[in-house]
Amino acid sequence: MWTVVKNVDDAIKVDASELSRAIHAREVSCREVMQAHLQRIHRYTRVWIGLAHLQ
């Protein structure tokens, strides 16, 4: 059973096959998905850098 991608935040939580289906169904655009991923990377960059320094 497919997960319905209602918004961009949902799009970064689903697996590749569900994301592909959502893009083809025009529930979300490729651009929106990429922007969501880049925002997430930007949001967590400081956390990841901090964790890397602990090692």
* Torsion angle of C-alpha atoms 44, 49, 54, 55, degrees rounded to 10: 110
pLDDT at 4: 64
Count CA within 13 A, CB hemisphere, residue 12: 13
pLDDT value for 31: 92
Expressed in angstroms, the distance from the first to the final Cα of the chain is 41
Across 29-37, average pLDDT: 90
Q: Is the pLDDT of residue 14 over 80?
A: yes
Max Cα–Cα distance, the chain, nearest Å: 43
Indicate if the pLDDT at residue 2 is higher than 60.
no
Please check whether residue 35 is in contact with residue 28, taking contact to mean a CB–CB distance below 8 angstroms.
no
Could you give the 3-state DSSP secondary structure of residue 51? helix
Is pTM beyond 0.75 here?
Answer: no
